Structure 1
Amino acid sequence: MIKVLEGRWKLPILLQLSRSGAMRFSDLARSIPNISKRMLTQQLKQMQADGLVRRLILDGTATRVEYQLTDWGRALRPSLASLVEWAQKCPGHVKGPATSHRKVD
């Protein structure tokens, strides 16, 4: 099951959706530095297939598409909060997605 969280971008996407609720694609793209639109599209499709994210099509004066966490995705919130807390305690050891990966001993 941990495979559904694998990859450079899934945790930042989950964190943004956890904090903001439903988000439009463009807002989500702006909120995650250095992610390409192609990569965001790919990751969202994978996360939809894995049952973490739901794509909502909202009709109104103009059709809008938003993404939000499913119930299973929202169940990750306590774990995500713990990861953020852990990262904030050790800021010199944890680098964001825009930097190179460090080998973990």
Structure 2
Amino acid sequence: MIDLVFGRWTTPVLWVLNHHGKLRFTEVQKLLPDCTPKVLTQRLRQLEADGLVTRTYYAEMPPRVEYESTELARTLIPVFNALADWSDQHLAEVLAARAAYQGD
């Protein structure tokens, strides 16, 4: 169940949608350039199935699709904020531990 929120690319996708609001696929992709289109599509579909993302299709020419975090996904904002705070407070320690481990 933990991978529901902390699976690869889940947290970045949810953070982007929570932070930027309703976005088209290409806009999400620009904000997550290291995520391949295939993986982003899979992650968005899974998040939609989990009730964390809403996909809205507009039948116009050309067709348009937008993604938005749901109210359920927005309940994760305090979790993301806590992780960001923890990172701000402890990043130096983590980097020092990595350096020590690598013998730098």
TM range (shorter): 0.7 to 0.9
Q: Distance in 1 between matches of 2:78 and 2:57?
A: 28
Q: What is the deviation of 1:6?
A: 3.6
Q: Residues of 1 paired with 2:35 and 2:18: CA distance? A: 18
Q: Could you tell me which runs of 5 or more consecutive residues in structure 1 were left unpaired when the two chains were aligned.
A: 95-105
**Secondary structure, aligned partner of 2:91:** coil
Distance 2:82 2:90 in 1: 13
What TM-score do the two structures reach when normalised by structure 1? 0.78
CA distance in 1, matches of 2:56, 2:37: 18
Indicate the larger mover: 22-31 or 2-11.
2-11
Return the alpha-carbon distance in structure 1 between the equivalents of residues 59 and 85 of structure 2: 38
Structure 2 match to 1:69: 69
The residue aligned with 1:24 is: 24
SS in structure 2 of the partner of residue 33 of structure 1: coil
Q: Which has the higher helix share?
A: 2
Q: Which residue does 1:86 correspond to in 2?
A: 86
Higher gyration radius (CA)? 2
Matches within 5 A, 1:39-78: 39-59=39-59, 62-78=62-78
Q: Which amino acid aligns with 1:7?
A: G
Deviation at 1:32, TM superposition (A): 1.0
Aligned residue pairs total 94
Q: Partner amino acid for 2:47? A: M
The match for 1:38 is: 38
Residue identity in the other structure for 2:78: P
Q: Following the alignment from structure 2 to structure 1, what is the Cα–Cα distance between the partners of residues 56 and 90?
A: 37
- Per-residue deviation, 1:91: 2.6
TM-score (normalizing by structure 2): 0.79
Percent of residue pairs identical: 35
